């Protein structure tokens, strides 16, 4: 039996919800496809250049830049042409800072962020001042690097150290009045609609999906739906569906012994040759070669 897809984002331990990982990508590749999650994400660019799209707003990240993704912000990252990139992620919940609901510090500084009435700025860049990089930018870069160094290590006092780094980071943002106001009213309703559309794709991408049928399901004509979807994700509905299918296919190639024909069918492709073509286009490797990375020459 073919298993259902796993979550595409990092799963956090509720006892101390923080996790980090590093990613290396060749030029002009999806670093991560368009998605969202209820957790906060910090992205630090060590090398290269990345085009980010956050709630339909485009950004370009360069070496030393910090990107911050608030809860439920729809985001997508692509590496630039001709540039190899290395980035580091820290994903966390504000619960990592404790849940002292009655404390003065929590009420004044943490609760507005957790409620979404204040939002982290999406970008901190050393290019904000063409003459000189502000010292507080360097301080933020140092703090994020320290977080990366200790977030997935285990030692006595680790949790205290991580909390200390986060409080330093937030203190700098508060001192320089860098937070944004949370979304309200119509903007919040638009976000719910966008997440509902992406959730539908996430739950049904292995099925025979028809864009006209999906557009009608959400009460749109086909042309408007195409424009709306492209505006949300930066991709066409078909391109986004292919990304979901290939991500799931990678999971199956890594974790099952099902044949490539079976996997092709289970992720929603009618033709194994077309599946292989799309897989090669998006992953820069054939399905069989991808599996051999994990199982060697005995791969099916």
Phi and psi at 83, nearest 5°, equal -130, 120
For residue 154, pLDDT beyond 80: yes
Indicate the average pLDDT of the chain.
87
The rounded percent of the chain whose pLDDT value lies above 90 is 57
Q: For residue 89, what are the domain limits?
A: 18-181
Tell me what pLDDT residue 9 has.
Answer: 57
β-bridge partners, 49: 62
Of 181, 206, 239, which marks where a domain is finished?
181
DSSP string, 203-270: HHTTS---HHHHHHHTT--HHHHHHHHHHHHSS-HHHHHHHHHHHHHHHHHHH----HHHHHHHTT-S
Dihedral, CA of residue 211, residue 213, residue 216 and residue 218, to nearest 10: -70
Model confidence at 214: pLDDT above 90:
yes
Would you say 42 and 75 are in contact if contact means Cβ atoms under 8 Å apart? no
Which of 276, 233, 267, 292 is CA-nearest to residue 32? 233
> Facing residues of 79 across strands?
50
* Cα Rg of the chain, angstroms: 21
Residue 11 lies in a domain: no
Give the model confidence (pLDDT) of 111-150 as tens digits.
Answer: 899 888 999 999 998 765 555 568 899 999 999 999 998 8
What pLDDT is recorded for position 84? 85
Please give the share of the chain, as a percent, with pLDDT higher than 70. Answer: 90
Question: C-alpha angle 38/40/42, rounded to 5°?
Answer: 150
Q: How far apart are CA 28 and CA 31, in angstroms?
A: 9
Asked whether residue 116 falls in the same domain as residue 34, the answer is yes
206 assigned to some structural domain:
yes
CA angle 144, 51, 250 (to 5 degrees): 90
In order of 54, 125, 146, the CA distances from 84 in angstroms are 22, 19, 24
Residue 10 inside a domain? The answer is: no
Can you say whether residue 236 is alpha, beta or left, with left for phi > 0 and alpha for psi between -120 and 50 degrees? beta
Spell out a b/e string for 211-226, using b for 16 or more CB atoms within 10 Å of the CB, else e.
eeebbeeeebeeeebb
Residue 288 sits in the same domain as residue 212: yes
CATH number, domain of 234, equals 1.10.10.60
Domain boundary among 142, 157, 181: 181
Q: What pLDDT score was predicted for residue 153? A: 82
Answer yes or no: are the C-beta atoms of 85 and 24 closer than 8 Å: yes
Tell me the pLDDT tens digit for each residue of 75-119. Answer: 988 887 777 889 999 999 888 887 666 788 888 998 899 888 999
């Amino acid at each position: 039996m073919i298993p259902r897809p796993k979550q595409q984002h990092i799963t956090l331990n509720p006892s101390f919800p923080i996790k980090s990982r590093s990613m290396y990508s060749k030029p002009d590749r999806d670093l991560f496809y368009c998605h969202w999650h209820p957790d906060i994400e910090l992205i630090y660019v060590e090398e290269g250049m990345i085009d980010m799209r956050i709630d339909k707003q485009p950004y370009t990240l360069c070496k030393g830049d910090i990107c911050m993704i608030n809860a439920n912000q729809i985001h997508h990252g692509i590496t630039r042409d001709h540039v190899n990139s290395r980035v580091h992620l820290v994903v966390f919940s504000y619960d990592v800072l404790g849940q002292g609901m009655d404390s003065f510090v929590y009420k004044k500084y943490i609760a507005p962020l957790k409620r979404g009435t204040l939002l982290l700025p999406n970008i901190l860049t050393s290019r904000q001042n063409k003459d000189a990089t502000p010292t507080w930018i360097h301080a933020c870069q140092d703090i994020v690097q320290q977080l990366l160094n200790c977030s997935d290590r285990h030692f006595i006092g680790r949790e205290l150290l991580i909390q200390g780094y986060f409080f330093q980071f937030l203190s700098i943002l508060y001192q320089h009045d860098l937070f944004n106001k949370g979304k309200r009213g119509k903007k919040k309703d638009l976000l719910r609609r966008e997440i509902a559309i992406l959730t539908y794709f996430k739950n049904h991408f292995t099925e025979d999906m028809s864009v006209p049928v999906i557009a009608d399901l959400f009460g749109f004509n086909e042309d408007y739906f195409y424009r709306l979807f492209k505006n949300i994700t930066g991709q066409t509905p078909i391109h986004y569906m292919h990304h979901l299918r290939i991500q799931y296919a990678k999971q199956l190639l890594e974790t099952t012994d099902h044949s490539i024909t079976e996997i092709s069918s289970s992720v929603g492709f009618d033709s194994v040759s077309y599946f292989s073509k799309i897989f090669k286009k998006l992953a820069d490797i054939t399905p069989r070669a991808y599996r051999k990375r994990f199982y060697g020459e005995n791969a099916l």
